[in-house]
Amino acid sequence: GDSVTQMEGPVTLSEEAFLTINCTYTATGYPSLFWYVQYPGEGLQLLLKATKADDKGSNKGFEATYRKETTSFHLEKGSVQVSDSAVYFCALRGDSGNTPLVFGKGTRLSVIA
Amino acid sequence: GAVVSQHPSWVICKSGTSVKIECRSLDFQATTMFWYRQFPKQSLMLMATSNEGSKATYEQGVEKDKFLINHASLTLSTLTVTSAHPEDSSFYICSARDVASGRETQYFGPGTRLLVL
């Protein structure tokens, strides 16, 4: 079945550092890919998404490009802030019917001033 | 953005009792709600898909008689953990799909932490 693998955390960075969180997936067909973020004490929020190969999702300075040749959707940000500290989940949704999201294990990011 | 609430946010109960968790979409109608379970340092595992007015679809390995799901309206789904045991202790998260926004938009509740003693 479909699955998502993302790098294990925790990741600790200094403010203004460059962030990469790796995510690869296994799926048949043409899934849609997502990054969700969970801030402390809050529910998951959609951060960005891409629905087809070579699409780039972006939001709040974060970017991820749908790479079908490498089955990857790595999350990047050029300069992180303390407020970016959260848990980040990579997810996919298959392209058939009313399919649910399939999540990676999540990566906890801590940004220190 | 759309808001999904869960109640309670945490609950402690004795083994053998039943616990009901409510999931509400506050400002949109959700024909489909999903229930996930999250173990420490693990991914969200889908338990079941709940469609308004019909029986829930359970994932393989999830006991439907133990985890009762009722999606009685377009804004409310409930998960009842029956005869809870310590191994049911976990973090339960619901998610609702906003029909008006299309199939891609899925909003999540803040989760309910269950501890069974």
Which residue in this structure is represented by tokens 């940000």?
A77
Q: Rounded to an integer, what distance in angstroms lies between the CA atom of residue A95 and that of residue B70?
A: 27
pLDDT tens profile B24-34: 999 888 888 99
Nearest CA in chain A to B9: A41
What kind and span of H or E run contains A14? strand A11-14
Band (A13; pLDDT cuts 50, 70, 90): very high
pLDDT at B1: 62
A106 versus B105: which is more confidently predicted?
A106
pLDDT at B103: 61
Task: Provide, as residue numbers in chain A, all residues whose Cβ is less than 8 Å from the Cβ of B104.
Answer: 32, 49, 51, 93
Averaged pLDDT of chain B: 89
In this complex, is the C-beta atom of B21 within 8 Å of any C-beta atom belonging to chain A?
Answer: no
pLDDT at B106: 82
Task: Provide, as residue numbers in chain B, all residues whose Cβ is less than 8 Å from the Cβ of A101.
Answer: 34, 44, 46, 95, 106
Beta strands in chain B (DSSP E): 4-7, 10-13, 19-25, 32-38, 44-51, 57-58, 67-73, 76-81, 90-97, 106-108, 112-116
Cβ contact B107–A43 (<8 Å):
yes
3-state SS of B8-26? CCEEEECCCCCEEEEEEEC
Which residues 56-95 in chain B show a CB within 8 A of chain A? 93, 95
Residue A96 has pLDDT above 80, yes or no: no
Cβ contact A43–B109 (<8 Å):
yes
Nearest CA in chain B to A93: B104
Averaged pLDDT of chain A: 92
Q: Which long-range contacts (CB under 8 A, 24 or more apart) does B52-57 make?
A: none
pLDDT tens profile A19-54: 999 999 999 888 999 999 988 877 788 999 999 999
Cβ contact A103–B95 (<8 Å):
no
Residue A57 has pLDDT above 70, yes or no: yes
Nearest CA in chain A to B51: A98
Among the listed residues B63, B111, B65, the one whose alpha carbon sits nearest the alpha carbon of residue B91: B111
Residue B101 has pLDDT above 90, yes or no: no
Helix extents (H) in A7-104: none
pLDDT tens profile B38-78: 887 777 899 999 888 888 999 999 999 999 999 888 899 99
